[in-house]
Structure 1
Amino acid sequence: MAQENGTRNQDIDYEALARSLTEITAKSQELVQDFLQQEQSAHHLAMEDAAQMAQLFQQLAARVMADPARLMQMQMAFWQNYMGLMQNVALRFWGLESEPVAQPAKGDRRFQHQGWEDHPFFDFVKQSYLLAADHTHAVVRDVEGLDDQTKKKVDFYTRAFIDAMAPSNFVATNPEVLQKTVDTGGQNLLQGLNNLLDDLKRGRGRLDIRMTDYDAFEVGTNLATTPGQVVYQNELMQLIQYEPTTTEVHKRPLLLVPAWINKYYIMDLNDEKSMVKWLVDQGHTVFIISWRNPDESLAEKQFEDYMLEGPVTAMDVVQEITGSEEMNLVGYCLGGTLSACTLAWLAARGDRRIQAATFLTCMLDFEYPGELEVFLDEEQISTLERRMGQKGYLEGRYMSTTFNMLRANDLIWSFFVNNYLKGDEPFPFDLLYWNSDSTNMPAKMHSFYLRNMYQRNLLKEPGGLELAGEAIDLGKIDIPAYFMSAKEDHIAPWKSTIRGPRLLSGPTRYVLGGSGHIAGVINPPHKNKYGYWTNTAKTVDQDEWLEGAEPHEGSWWNDWGQWLAGYGGDKVKARKVGSKKHAPIEPAPGSYVRHGVLYDD
């Protein structure tokens, strides 16, 4: 053993270690200065968050202690399970086989390394954690006397704490990290510290975990590459028209309305994954809105401004360029919610230009918003409004962190281990690059959206909202509509999206795809992945709908393509990009998409 250690010490490059330590020291000094500069403004809001959290768990502790008999019963059950684990460990140390007391859930990637199974110590650590996690979950889940909202918040933050305390997140209890530390003489930890400091510097004192290799991608080079031109722009958006790839196209052009949370190019990732390119190749004249990343100059923009300066204005431009008074609309996520508002506003004015609409993972009834609900009570929204009031907008990183917390093990802790403990570089992945390219939210618009949609759920009520002088009634939307949802969506749960079709008065088709909010939608046919389900029943009961649904292999795009073609109108000669009035301004993807966290403003 001594000889092995001596050989290993000889392999260590002390000069490289010294250079790493010098670099770390310099970065640390710069980071402390950046952190102190902004700490004063953030301190008050952080104290508010801490006070709210403390109050939640004080309520939990009081309710748990109010029933000591039940608590004792649960503790005894945990003790019995733990004694079973100790017996299991003893048998393994004697070289005997034994059945595990606790096992990770299917799909839990934290314990995939063989060391968690092969070594009795790490197997014990793993099972101890899983038992403690199950016990803690049970205590929170079964507590009585808390209102539903408080219980959901306590459950969410408890799971966040349990995820953070996983043994896979610590050097001393992660066999894979320990092995790499031995193999590299600790160089992985130094590199991990370097990575940590880089992420803190990019986040200006707040941890901004790098999920992918940012240098591997560039918008306009290997992302958002479908040929097209910006044919119009205003304060809020640029409108892109794509060049045709077929000699004939459907008469009715197609206007795509993405969400303004993140960038539009989720719908145009690359040639293999681009929904835009696929639609163009299907013979559609495609236009898409590229939203501007707002700063303090747009702080006064309202939700109705996004409607008027977004799809309503875009419709006028599309009509002028194509000469078609009829067109179809596609809205994705928040863009779908805006599209529904736009359609109801147009219906109130007797405007019939939109002939068919598609809603992708979009909520119109917000009764079941999923785990986002824990961030949407009065205290949380009021705190958020004070945060937005400091700059006139909500920083994109805040929104990104909120969504990442909903899948912390996949979107936070897996990268924490990879980047900081193993010292590895994250794998190049276009979806995660897009996910990191976050955008800001204007204060007034975002406050209106959170309070009227999520908190009060007024969009589903006829006349519950008024936008630009018109009462919004989704029941007046009588055109054909296609709804697509994703089975594992944690942002727009299909328990909520399945309620959308019942609010419209026209013929609707509801399709459920596999996977989640992004991968479930961006699922090109040639990948032949996930599958989808169809059912003409109008029930809003998930189990009932799925039980009567017909399963299909491959991508839901195949089904959607046939539906779109049916409402695309006759074929006409392919159109040129732009017109005399709306001449091309610049090539796609345009300049608005290049401003954000990953680009220089």
Structure 2
Amino acid sequence: MNSTSTSSNPWVRWQQVFTDEMMAAMGRVALVPTLWERARRVRKGVTPAETVYEEDRLRLRHYVTDGKPRYRTPLVLIYALVNRPYILDLKKGRSVVEQFVAHGFDTYLVDWGVPTSADRHLTLDDYINGYMVNILDYLRERTGVGRCNILGYCMGGTMSAMFTALHQDRVKNLMLLAAPIDFATNDSLLNLWSRPEYFDVDKFVDAFGNCPPEFLQASFLLLKPVGNLLEKPINFYENMHNEKFVEDFMTTETWL
């Protein structure tokens, strides 16, 4: 049988495809024992920083530069109360913080810490009119600048918008990134799920105190169940041999 007839034979082609896929699958399976070690080696929050202010679990990190910042006005990155803030400083070359520092901004980041049952009675008022006021007052005294720049990300953006509305004398510029603002709309599933007729937040807080991370994680996964529960694992499986893909995937997923 010549090569032309072999390549046109459906059965032979199927055998070749099956063999190739089996070999690729065996190669992926062989990589499984190394995944835990590769995940353990993932480093996040790579830009050099020092803690300059502490209050309860809160830590204010100042990113260190070799020279003097180009801009005097401090830039404060306010992240959400859930997840970890190093999403803004994931890895070298993929870091919002790194870019701000490189362009001469005097950059700070608020790390709210990991909540415990002792934090269950804290309200938005405590965070916005308490911690955030103290942070900006500290920076104003530290830098000698009357007002600070704020970049609020996710829930941190919502809190930053509230803070700026209440304390305009402390804020020079407000920047918001992926920040929920209009909670009256039903455009998103989260808005719909959290409507009072479907979700009694008071009973939930009374029962759990702090919102369990498993509840939040499940809620966000169910926003895009096919993408998160099917497409993402399949995409990872098909790219397990790609070192750069695995490193990027592990960096992002271990943040979550």
Give the TM interval when normalised to the shorter protein: 0.7 to 0.9
Tell me the equivalent position of 2:75. 254
Q: Which residue of 2 aligns with 1:215?
A: 40
| Number of the residue aligned with 1:371 | 189
The within-5 A match list for 1:219-298 is 223-298=44-119
Following superposition, the deviation at residue 402 of structure 1 comes to: 1.6
Residue in structure 1 matching 2:172, options 347, 355, 359: 355
Amino acid aligned to 1:378: P
CA–CA separation in structure 2 for the residues paired with 1:211 and 1:258: 28
Quote how far apart the aligned CAs of 1:434 are: 4.0
**How do 1:116-127 residues align onto structure 2 when only pairs under 5 Å count?**
none
Higher Rg? 1
- Cα distance 1:245–1:358, how it changes in 2: closer, same or farther (>3 A)? farther
Deviation at 1:183, TM superposition (A): 7.1
Deviation string, structure 1 residues 98-129 (Cα, Å, up to 9, x no partner): xxxxxxxxxxxxxxxxxxxx97xxxxxxxxxx
Distance 1:316 1:369, change over 3 A: farther
Answer yes or no: is the 8 Å Cα contact 1:329–1:358 preserved in 2: yes
Task: For residue 105 of structure 2, give the secondary structure of its aligned residue in structure 1.
Answer: coil
On the 8 A contact 1:234/1:309 being kept in 2, the answer is: no
**Aligned residue runs from structure 1 range 131-530, under 5 A:** 179-180=21-22, 214-218=39-43, 223-347=44-168, 352-366=169-183, 367-382=185-200, 386-417=203-234, 428-430=246-248, 433-438=251-256
Residues 212 and 432, structure 1, Cα contact 8 Å, conserved in 2: no
Offset at residue 239 of structure 1 (A): 0.5
Work out whether residues 262 and 434 of structure 1, in 8 Å CA contact, stay in contact via their aligned partners in 2.
no
The letter of the residue matching 1:332 is Y
Q: Deviations for 1:177-196, whole angstroms, at most 9, x for unmatched residues?
A: xx539975xx96xx9xx99x
> CA offset at residue 340 of structure 1?
0.9
Q: How far apart are the structure 2 equivalents of 1:305 and 1:236?
A: 13
Match of 1:231, SS state, is strand
- Name structure 1 gaps, 5 residues minimum: 1-94, 96-117, 120-174, 196-209, 439-601
CA distance in 2, matches of 1:369, 1:255: 30
Relative distance call for 1:245 and 1:346 in structure 2 (3 A) is same
TM-score (norm 2): 0.76
Conserved in 1, the CA contact under 8 Å of 2:140 and 2:146? yes
Q: Which has the higher contact order (CA 8 A, sep 6+)?
A: 2
CA distance in 2 between counterparts of 1:340 and 1:431 reads: 32
Identity over the aligned pairs, expressed in percent? 21
Decide whether aligned partners of structure 1 residues 291 and 268 sit closer, same or farther in structure 2, where only a CA change above 3 A counts. same
> Which stretches of structure 1, 4 residues or longer, exceed 6 Å deviation after superposition?
none
> Which amino acid is the alignment partner of residue 217 of structure 2?
S
Structure 1 residue 288 displacement after superposition: 1.0
Preserved contact between residue 59 and residue 112 of structure 2 (Cα < 8 Å): yes
1:268 CA displacement: 1.0
* Aligned AA (2:210): Y
Q: What is the CA–CA distance in structure 1 between the aligned matches of 2:64 and 2:205, rounded to whole Å?
A: 39
Q: How far is 1:329 from its partner?
A: 1.2
- Structure 2 gaps of 5+ residues are 1-7
Q: Deviations over 1:214-253 (max 9, x none)?
A: 22313xxxx2121121111122411011113443521211
Supply the distance in 1 between the matched residues of 2:51 and 2:225 (Cα, whole angstroms). 37
CA contact (8 A) 2:39 2:254 kept: no
CA spacing shift, 1:432–1:212, aligned 2, 3 Å: farther
- Per-residue deviation, 1:334: 1.0
TM-score normalised by length of structure 1: 0.35
- Relative to structure 1, the CA distance from residue 334 to residue 435 in structure 2 (aligned partners, 3 Å threshold; closer, same or farther) is farther
**TM-aligned CA distance change 1:296 to 1:249, over 3 Å:** same
- The superposition leaves residues 376-398 of structure 1 with CA deviations (integer Å, 9 ceiling, x where unpaired) of 2335422x654554442112232
Structure-2 change in CA distance of 1:245 and 1:309 (3 Å): farther
User: For the aligned residues, what is the CA RMSD?
Assistant: 3.7
* 1:215 to 1:436, Cα distance in 2 relative to 1, 3 A: closer
Deviations 1:82-106 (A, max 9, x none): xxxxxxxxxxxxx9xxxxxxxxxxx
Query: What is the CA–CA distance in structure 2 between the aligned matches of 1:267 and 1:436, rounded to whole Å?
Result: 14
Letter in 1 for 2:176: F
Q: Check whether the contact 1:296–1:392 (CA below 8 A) recurs between aligned residues.
A: yes
CA 252–183 in structure 1, closer or farther in 2 if over 3 Å, else same? closer
Counterpart of 1:304, as a letter, is D
Where does residue 4 of structure 2 map in the other structure?
none
CA deviations 1:341-397 (Å, max 9, x no partner) are: 1011114xxxx1311111112232222542323422335422x65455444211223
